[in-house]
Structure 1
């Protein structure tokens, strides 16, 4: 005679934790070390296919040889690559884009012309022009005329100060509108022009 339904349900629910335990052991311990599991995994692995291909061949060898020690050691290899080594040796596409943007930002914000100037003589100025702006590093002993030539070269501005038929290119203070004369060293213009100030590179406004 069949047992009552209540007894059957009680028996099923009582055995459910044991079933889940043994199923978890099989799924996470036994199955990953079996070659059939890895063939199935590699069929749907996508980008992970190349990472686990060599491990699949080793597991096939283990399946033919049947060495328990090899099975245990390869399980730890699989655990390392699947849980600990994911994306460790090959950065993701988002990470590569982030590194590229950081490198571009560093190149943009790096002061132009600071490589050959000694640290104690560097004079940083924000220069704006019609072709864009940048942080330009001058030697504080340079005259404004020399600074104009260097700024035009760094920013790609056409400089025709030697041609009397063209208007002169000046450095003009953005804050006060003062036009700085060509023959004065830049460090003598402090505080009218201090490090970190913004100047406009172009013809002086009349």
Structure 2
């Protein structure tokens, strides 16, 4: 199964490219939000894509879907767990950033989600029902990929807790150190009884979404 490709674009269409990797050209479908970010780099530059490889008994022809970041692919995998949203429909829906969609889901913004291409009111309701509460890490995305977020309460000193959340915000979600420090201090000021990395991260998230 293909998970990652790196090469040069030799053909571009509205929703796909042909990526030359070595001596092999791969056709890769791209959501609009990904295509828009790649366009300035398609002239003889090497680009890299994280790949969602789609193939089923009903659709035996392999379909490759490309993303700039691993966290975008992670979001896509969650997005297609929603009833009535398959990979091809999801591609068309991703016309805005993953972060914007995640915020809409966490805010239960059915009206906003229903404006995504191919997503009507009923499907938007299903998206919220299925994914609400699972989008925090995507809603806090900056420019960097995410590998892992604090998901379990860990008994630790406050310094250790702050270090864990700082690492997530800087190294995994792409925030600058000064931004991460400010977000954490504000969260602790709002809720001084925080005693776990998970609780601190949740409070950081709530503070950012309230702005």
TM interval, shorter chain, is under 0.3
TM-score when normalising by structure 1:
0.23
TM-score when normalising by structure 2:
0.23
Task: Compare CA radii of gyration and give the structure with the larger one.
Answer: 1
Structure with the largest fraction of helix: 1
